[in-house]
Amino acid sequence: MGETGMERERSGTGVGLYLLLTMLLCAAPYALMARYGVSGGAGGYVTALMWGPAVAAILTVWLLRLDWSSLGFAWRGTSSSWASYLLPIGYAGLAYVIVWSTGMGRFATPESIAPLAAQIGWTIEDPMLFAVLFFVFTGVTGIIVGTARGLGEEIGWRGFMAPRLQDRFGFTRAAAITGLIWASWHVPLILYADYNSAAPRGFALVCFFVMVMNLSFIMAWFRLKSGSVWPAAIMHGSHNLFIQRIFTPLTEPTGDITAYAIDEFGFMLAITSFAVALYLWFRRGEAVAAHEARRSGRETA
């Protein structure tokens, strides 16, 4: 007797094919960025890489004739999306406030904001006023592009893979497996391109892996609780935006310690994101119950 569509979905059908297609689709962007850096191709190489998981997921669903709705494209309210946008501001903001207040890094000075101001044609010299306006302006306009890029990864990692691994392994193991694969997907960029920091490569890798594992648990929670890939995509875009384009550029080094503390390769984000992941892990039952309710047809929204 053949499997029904629901049984195929619950058995995790297609994860192996999805990972194979992801590797094949990402090979060329990896090679291009190893040669020209992550800013090569006017940022197009990064976009191509980030959309590799999405194309792989779509191809897998099409080839195996799986349910398109399982990718989570449905928009299910705005509360989870707002939370996923604001959350990175919280854990990243806390990390950088600690860095600035302890002297592990220094808040921007007039000299350091000059290049940022020049990029957008501003002549503001007061660091605090500039930071506030820059935060609002970049936070509003940048999230559009950030979410568009993040959606490429999230259709794959959270849209396709996370719920299938959830049905097979349960929340903790599924989030951990997804996180390990997701973190490993970044390794070629860290080792062979310029997606890294001034910290020693081994230290940066450890901090990055811890942070990504934390984010995997957070995003899995939002994906299962909402039944939609959009909160994960928005959080992905928000995380990249506020850390890479706002908090890190507004931080000046005060010595070698700064490279060890800040950005996605420092220990502070690993610590603050862990606190959020642990909190949501204790509430994992809510997300799993919502996921199971949708799968059994008890939820109509």
Tens-place pLDDT, residues 215-255: 999 999 999 999 999 999 999 999 999 999 999 999 999 99
Domain count along the chain: 1
Range of the domain at 101: 71-296
Phi/psi class of residue 43: alpha, beta or left (left: φ > 0; alpha: ψ in -120 to 50)? Answer: left
- For residue 40, being part of any structural domain is answered with no
- For residue 43, being part of any structural domain is answered with no
- For residue 15, being part of any structural domain is answered with no
- For residue 250, being part of any structural domain is answered with yes
- For residue 48, being part of any structural domain is answered with no
- Partnered with residue 4 across adjacent β-strands are none
Q: CB under 8 Å to 97, separation ≥6 — which residues?
A: none
Confidence class for position 119, pLDDT limits 50, 70, 90 = confident
SS (H, E, C) 195-262: CCCCCCHHHHHHHHHHHHHHHHHHHHHHHHHHCCCHHHHHHHHHHHHHHHHHHCCCEEECCCHHHHHC
Q: How far is the C-alpha of 54 from the C-alpha of 159, rounded, in Å?
A: 9
Does 202 have pLDDT greater than 50? yes
- For residue 188, being part of any structural domain is answered with yes
Mean pLDDT across 254-278: 97
- For residue 269, being part of any structural domain is answered with yes
- For residue 120, being part of any structural domain is answered with yes
pTM above 0.85, yes or no: yes
Tens-place pLDDT, residues 166-181: 999 999 999 999 999 9
Helix (H) or strand (E) holding 106: strand 105-107
